[in-house]
Structure 1
Amino acid sequence: MIRLIAICFGLILAAPLLAQEDAQVANKDSGNSATTDSTVDVSKEKIPSAFNGKDLTGWKVPENNVWWSAKDGELKVQSGPNKKGSTLWTEKEYTDFVIDCEFKFGKGTVDSGFFMRNEHDQIQIGISGSLKRDMTGSPYIPGKGYPVEAKGVKELLKQTDWNAMRVVAKGNVYTVWLNGKQVMTYKSDSAVEKGPIGIQLHGNRDMAIDYRKIRIGEL
């Protein structure tokens, strides 16, 4: 009887340790899990507008600009001479943030996206130059390529109409929604804490893409 009591007591003491070990294993294995909690419950109307639809106020316009223009409420993006690319950066820097916008593909092989606080981590919009297929919503990380691929994009993406996209960055976790559906979550080990947001026009392309209703807000 005494021996049985001792065994039961030992199991009671061991239970918290076993639970702790299980939690450590779960945390270790959850690096790029699609279930990472990065939900942002914020209505579009509460996110500040980052584009007034009339000019490029609030953005760092590159010298000799031939790529970026505002017309009829839209940000018109067009390849320059000799297919030279460009990036349009926000004047403001952000830590945790949400981007809400709409985009529509134009002519050519579209290769665009958002730079996340610096010219390194990127959320792709359009055709990957390396993979030669659409990777919209997926993260591109130099040195790693596309470590994860957004899910369900083929069924959601409109090739000739406007698409709604939301991108959330909370610390080093990026989450993307396309036309109202969450398609990607990724935890980046190369994310920086603070910086501007850039819209990319990839070089060596003859392409056009339009953006509108661009909103960017701090979280």
Structure 2
Amino acid sequence: MKQLLASIAVVAICSLGWAADPANQKEEGFVQLFDGKSLNGWKINENPESWTVKDGEIIGKGKRSHLFYMGDDKPFKNFELRVDVKTEANSNGGIYFHTKYQDEGWPKYGFEAQVNNSHGDYKRTGSLYDVVNVVETHVPDNQWYTETVIVKGNKIIVKINDKALFEYAEPKDLKPGEQFTRKIDQGTFALQAHDPGSTVHFKNIRVKRLD
């Protein structure tokens, strides 16, 4: 009888989707940056109409705009960031880190972890944009996946669904670029709405400090 009740309970949980939804699985040490309902703790720069919140997702669609996380005064230096992402066809987006708020334009500070499975730009999802460019497509459009960025010391690892694509070790003598720094430092995170033809969905945005 106990075994039968346990089986019923498992079926009930699975029917509700809890077992399949990573947002409902406990990840020790991680803190959620998005409450699933609003953009509290976040700040949009240009073209605020490019961002909406619906069904527990942040959706970027429209003219160039960046959504910066402003909910913590302490900058992020060493961390593991995990973001669940879904792209629609021919869509481009990005996840910035070690960046800081700016009123307009492509973020100058930090790095962009690319989000792009079928857009015209050959730099695909998981690229550390213009630092380590990934040309293979690892995930299809219209399917949720998890993009993970780990920064520790002078190393950056990018993972797609727990598969590490590469480990980048920053050279000791590297100097920041003038237009885009692309140098390990500290800062916050930002999401990218790239263009009116792109639609990218983000949810379950969580981070664990490794300091």
**So what's the TM-score if we normalise by structure 1?**
0.66
Query: 1:63 deviation in Å?
Result: 5.9
Q: Cα deviation per residue 1:40-72 (whole Å; 9 max; x = unaligned)? A: xxx734310011110001111336511122111
* Per-residue CA distance 1:174-196 (angstroms, 9 max, x = gap): 11111121112112344242211
Q: Name the residue aligned to 2:197.
A: 206
1:61 equivalenced with 2:51 (yes/no): no
1:195 lines up with 2:184 in the alignment: no
Q: 1:71-129: per-residue Cα shift (whole Å, max 9, x none)?
A: 111111111xxxx201111113311111112111124x322112221234211110697
SS of the counterpart of 2:52? strand
TM-score (normalised: structure 2): 0.68
Pairing 1:125–2:115 present: yes
Unaligned runs of 5+ in 2: 1-25, 100-106, 177-182
The question of whether the paired residues in 1 share the 8 Å contact of 2:112 and 2:128 is answered with yes
Matching residue's letter, 1:44: E
The answer to whether structure 1 residue 85 and structure 2 residue 85 are counterparts is no
In structure 1, which of residues 97, 100, 116 is the aligned counterpart of residue 79 of structure 2? 97
* Paired letter, 1:157: V
Pair 1:136 & 2:117 matched: no
- After superposition, the CA RMSD in angstroms is 2.4
C-alpha displacement at 1:217, in angstroms? 2.4
Equivalent in the alignment of 1:157: 139
Distance 2:190 2:169 in 1: 19
In 1, Cα distance between the equivalents of 2:167 and 2:27? Answer: 20
Return the offset for 1:134. Answer: 4.8
Aligned residue identity for 2:188: P
Aligned residue type for 2:114: Q
Rg (Cα) greater in structure: 1
In 2, the alpha carbon distance for the partners of 1:174 and 1:192 equals 9
- Show the counterpart of 1:30: none
Is residue 149–residue 184 contact of structure 1 (8 Å, CA) maintained in 2? no
Paired position in structure 1 for 2:21: none
C-alpha distance in 2, partners of 1:85/1:63?
Answer: 7
Aligned to 1:44, which of 27, 37, 40? 27
Match of 1:173 among 135, 147, 155: 155
Residue 122 to residue 63, structure 1, CA distance change in 2 (3 Å): closer
Does the 8 Å CA contact 1:127/1:133 hold for their aligned counterparts?
A: no
Q: Percent identity?
A: 26
Which aligned segments of 4 or more residues in structure 1 are displaced greater than 6 angstroms? none
Structure with a larger share of its residues in helix = 1
Unaligned runs of 5+ in 1: 1-42
**Alignment check: 8 A CA contact 1:165 1:176 kept:** yes
With over 3 angstroms needed to count, the CA separation of the structure-2 counterparts of 1:178 and 1:69, relative to structure 1, is same
